[in-house]
Structures are given as C-alpha cells and as structure tokens.
Chains A and B, each alone.
Chain A
Amino acid sequence: MIHTVLPFVLCVVLFIIGLYAIAVKKNLIKVIIGIIVMHNAVNMFLVLIGFRPPASGPVIAPIMTPEMGHRDEAVRALLSHSVDPVPQALVLTSIVIGLSVVALMVVMALRLHQKYGTFDLTQITRLKG
C-alpha cells in the first residue's frame, strides 16, 4: 500500500523545496519564503501523523458532555472517529513560532534593505568569512 507512506514522503518533498530555496537562492526574500515553505511542510507532516480515516475533528459533540450522555459511550465514540488531538496542538504551537520567526525575519530584511539598498545576499557581505 503506497498510500501508507506517500503523504509523508510528499511532506518531505515540500520540505526539500524549502531547503533548496534557502540554500541556493541568493535573494533575501526567497530565503524567507524557503523557510516558510519548510515550516509549512513540517506542520503538514505533523498534522498528517494524527490523521485517522473518519477524519472528524477532535471536538466532543454537545450531546456527549458529561451531564448528558453516558461517559464511557462518549469516550468510545470519540475513540472510534476522532483524529489525534496532540499533533494538532503541536502544530498550533509550531505555527505561532513560525509566525514569530517570520515577523523577525521581515524586520531584519527591512533593516538590511535600508542599510544596503538591496535584497541581494551576495552584496550583503560586510562580514568577512
């Protein structure tokens, strides 16, 4: 069954596209874009890890709240259809971290453009080595 691994491999392909952009492109914005692509790839990988076939969200339907339904029934129903909530929580955290890093990078890109007048990384080389 190729479908058991193909989604994960596609995530790695996306990851590599990002990595390629970071390493090979010499435009600063392209590097930022590469990092965002990479973050998205990793996030997708994490989301796909938690996937289970019925693919219903990990939200307990109101009918199953403790006071209304039998607890064990609710738990069992959740077990039979819900996806794994943990990777989703991880991805939420990871998205936030990604946004923070992107914001910082944008600020740095602005400052570098102000100082050097260009986004070209081959011209932004005042440091030796």
Chain B
Amino acid sequence: MRGMTPIVKTITALLIGFIMLFGFYVILTGHLSPGGGFAGGVICAAGLLLVVLAFGADTVKERMGHNMAVLWEGLGAIGFLAVALLGFITGTFFAHFVPHNLGVRLFTGGSMPYLNLAIGLKVGAGLFGAFLMLAAFREAERGGRDKGEGDRS
C-alpha cells in the first residue's frame, strides 16, 4: 500500500503539527488540567498513526526507522524509573526530589511533569512502533510470506 490519495496526504501534512502540539500540551499540563502523560502519548501516537495510514508504512519506515521507536520507548521507560529512583536523594522511592514552589505554575508539580514526560515519550513511541510493525506486517503478508522484516538477531 503506497498510502492514500494526495488529498489525504496534504491534509495530514497540515494537521500533524497541530496534533503533535496538542499531544505535548496535554502531556506537559497533565498535573494542572485533565490529561496527562498517557493521554498525551496516545494522542501523539495517533497523530503518527495518521501519517502511517496516509503515507504507507514503507515510506514512514524509511524516514523514521522502527529502531528509533524502540530506542525512544526504552529511554522513556528508563527515564521514568530514573525519576523514581532519584527520589532516594530526599528519602524514599518515588519521593519528590524537585522542589514544589518555583513560582512558575507549570512547575508546581514537583517531579510530576518529568514523570508525565517520560510516560508520554514511552507510550507515544511504543504505540507508534507497534502500529508501524503491524502495518509493515500486513504489507509483508500481502506481498508474500517471509518478505519484509529482516531478522535482527
């Protein structure tokens, strides 16, 4: 599948920036308003999913490889764990190590924004990677068995 019609492609290209922006907004203001890392991450993943659907999995795979998704996902997960472990600086697992009141409203949440960011990164990259893999699998399935994904062993 080489993607959809030029209309879809153009509109996707116009929209994707706004979708990603909204996703990041939802992630960053998670501790202040409804939303959070997970919802924002899925919004970002859905935006990327739109790109995959519009342009075809192969095109996307050439631009941003599947390995990138794995890398970002792993980094997000490690980041979350790291923020949790940094709590030991001030005492226990998951304790806030970031001061609460910095004056700026976005940073009143202690380590919450960082956790949100890590989750958003992880979920967005992970779901995008899984969907890309699925789309590629489907195309490989169509184009004949055992073509497509190479074995990285």
Contact = CB atoms under 8 A, between A and B. Distances in A.
Query: Does A touch B (CB under 8 Å) in the complex?
Result: yes
Interface of A: 57, 59, 65, 92, 96, 99, 103, 106-107, 110, 114
A59 B38 contact: no
Interface residues of B, number: 14
A110 B33 contact: no
Contact of A103 (B38, B130, B138): B130
B38 A110 contact: no
A110 B34 contact: no
20 contacts: A57-B34, A59-B33, A59-B34, A65-B108, A92-B36, A92-B38, A96-B38, A96-B123, A99-B42, A103-B127, A103-B130, A106-B134, A107-B130, A107-B134, A110-B134, A110-B137, A110-B138, A110-B141, A114-B141, A114-B145
A92 to B, nearest CB: 7
A68 to B, nearest CB: 11
Contacts of B42: 99
Contacts of A96: 38, 123
Nearest to A66: B101
Contacts of B123: 96
Contacts of B145: 114
A57 B34 CA distance: 9
Nearest to B38: A96
Contacts of A59: 33-34
A7 to B, nearest CB: 23
A107 B129 CA distance: 13
Given A92-B36, A110-B141, 4 more contacts: A59-B33, A92-B38, A99-B42, A114-B141
B92 to A, nearest CB: 20
Contacts of B138: 110
B33 to A, nearest CB: 7
Contacts of A57: 34
Interface in B100-153: 108, 123, 127, 130, 134, 137-138, 141, 145
Nearest to B140: A114
Nearest to A113: B141
Contacts of A103: 127, 130
A57 B36 CA distance: 15
